Amino acid sequence: MNTYPSRLLEEAVIELVRLPGIGKRTALRLALWILKQDASRAELLGQSIINLRNNISYCKICHNIADSEVCNICADDKRDPAIICVVEDVRDVMAIENTGQYKGLYHVLGGIISPMEGIGPQDIHLDTLIQKTETNRISEVIMALPSTTEGDTTAFYIYRKIQKNVQVISAISRGIAIGDDLEFADEVTLGKSIKNRIPFTV
Amino acid sequence: MNTYPSRLLEEAVIELVRLPGIGKRTALRLALWILKQDASRAELLGQSIINLRNNISYCKICHNIADSEVCNICADDKRDPAIICVVEDVRDVMAIENTGQYKGLYHVLGGIISPMEGIGPQDIHLDTLIQKTETNRISEVIMALPSTTEGDTTAFYIYRKIQKNVQVISAISRGIAIGDDLEFADEVTLGKSIKNRIPFTV
Confidence label for B1 from pLDDT (cuts 50, 70 and 90): very low
Query: Are B49 and B75 in a shared domain?
Result: no
Nearest-10 Cα torsion for B35, B41, B47, B49: -80
Whether B39 and B64 share a structural domain: no
Q: What is the DSSP letter of B53?
A: H
Q: Say how many CA atoms lie within 13 Å of A37 toward its Cβ.
A: 22
Mean residue pLDDT across chain B: 91
Residue A26 bridge partners (DSSP):
none
Confidence of residue B2 (pLDDT cuts 50, 70, 90): low
Beta bridge partners of B57: B66
Is B39 part of a structural domain of the chain? yes
Asked if pLDDT for residue B116 goes beyond 50, the answer is yes
- Residue A2 pLDDT more than 70? no
- Both B33 and B74 in a single domain? no
Same-domain check for residues A64 and A162: yes
| Maximum Cα–Cα distance across chain A | 68
Residue A8 has pLDDT above 70, yes or no: yes
**CATH of residue A21:** 1.10.8.420
Which of A185-194, B87-96, B186-195 has the largest mean confidence? B87-96
pLDDT on residue B32: 93
- The pLDDT tens digits of the residues spanning A56-83 come to 999 999 999 998 899 999 999 999 999 9
Residues of B in contact with A44 (CB under 8 A): 15
Q: What pLDDT is stored for residue A1 in this prediction?
A: 43
In terms of domains, do B95 and B118 share one?
yes
CA Rg value for chain B: 22
What is the number of helices (H) and of strands (E) in chain B?
8, 6
What is the CATH number for B160? 3.40.1360.10
B180 found inside a domain: no
Q: Mean of the per-residue pLDDT values for chain A?
A: 91
What's the structural domain count of chain B?
Answer: 2
The minimal CB distance from A8 to the residues B41, B51, B72 is found for: B51
Domain annotation covers residue A13: yes
Q: How far is A47 from chain B, CA to nearest CA, in Å?
A: 6
Residues of A in contact with B35 (CB under 8 A): 52-53, 56, 65
Pair (B74, B166) in one structural domain: yes
Instruction: Tell whether B124 is covered by a domain.
Output: yes
Closest B-chain CA to A41: B15
Question: Quick one: B16 and B111 in the same domain?
Answer: no
Same domain, A27 and A65: no
Within-domain flag for A190: no
β-pairing verdict for A65-66 and A57-58: antiparallel
Asked if the C-beta of B68 comes within 8 angstroms of chain A's C-beta atoms, the answer is no
Q: Report the pLDDT value the prediction gives residue A175, as an integer from 0 to 100.
A: 83
Query: Is-above-0.80 flag for pTM?
Result: no
Whether residues B65 and A97 touch (CB distance < 8 A) is answered with no
Residue B27 sits at φ, ψ, to 5 deg, of -60, -45
| Angstroms from A64 CA to nearest CA on chain B | 7
On whether both A77 and A92 belong to a single domain, the answer is: yes
Query: What's at B150, amino acid-wise?
Result: E
- Pairing, β A104-108 against β A140-143: unpaired
Across the interface, do A47 and B50 touch by the CB < 8 Å criterion? yes
Residues 2-21 of chain A with CB under 8 A from chain B are: 2-9, 11-12, 14-16, 18-21
How many other C-beta atoms lie within 10 A of the C-beta of residue A144? 20
CB A125 within 8 A of CB A63: yes
Distance, in Å, from the CA atom of B107 to the CA atom of B96, rounded to the nearest integer, reads 13
- The interface pTM score, or ipTM, of the predicted complex is 0.81
| A62 within some domain | yes
Total H helices, total E strands in chain A: 8, 6
In the predicted model, is pLDDT for residue B54 greater than 90?
A: yes
Answer yes or no: do A48 and B89 touch at CB < 8 A. no
Percent of chain A past pLDDT 90, that is, above it, reads: 75
Statement to judge: residues A70 and A158 lie in one domain = yes
Pairing verdict, β B65-66 and A104-108: unpaired
H or E element at residue B170: strand B168-171
How much is the pLDDT for A45?
Answer: 96
CA distance B24 to B18: 9
Q: Do B35 and A53 touch (CB under 8 A)?
A: yes
**Cβ–Cβ under 8 Å, residues B56 and B65:** yes
Residue B41 and residue B78 in one domain? no
Ranking A57-71, B20-34, B115-129, B181-195 by mean pLDDT, the lowest is: B181-195
Instruction: Give the pLDDT band (50/70/90) at residue A156.
Output: very high
pLDDT score of B182 = 81
The answer to whether A105 and A74 have CB atoms below 8 angstroms apart is yes
Alpha carbons within 13 A on the beta-carbon side of A15:
24
Residue A1 lies in a domain: no
- Return the closest-CA partner of residue B34 out of A31, A51, A42: A51
Cα(A201)–Cα(A40) distance, rounded to whole angstroms? Answer: 56
Q: Domain of residue A142: give its range.
A: 58-171
Residue A198 has pLDDT above 90, yes or no: no
Report the candidate in A87, A81, A60 with the shortest Cα–Cα distance to residue A136: A81
Cβ pair A43:B32 closer than 8 A = no
Instruction: Judge whether B199 lies within some domain.
Output: no
Residues B84 and B50 in one domain: no
> pLDDT (tens digit, 9 = 90+) per residue, B16-31?
999 999 999 999 999 9
Q: Do B21 and A21 touch (CB under 8 A)?
A: no
The pLDDT tens digits of the residues spanning B60-113 come to 999 999 988 999 999 999 999 999 999 999 999 998 998 888 999 999 999 999
What is the share, in percent, of chain B residues with pLDDT greater than 90? 75
Which pLDDT belongs to residue B59? 95
Q: Calculate what percentage of chain A has a pLDDT beyond 70.
A: 98
Size of interface A-B (CB pairs under 8 A): 182
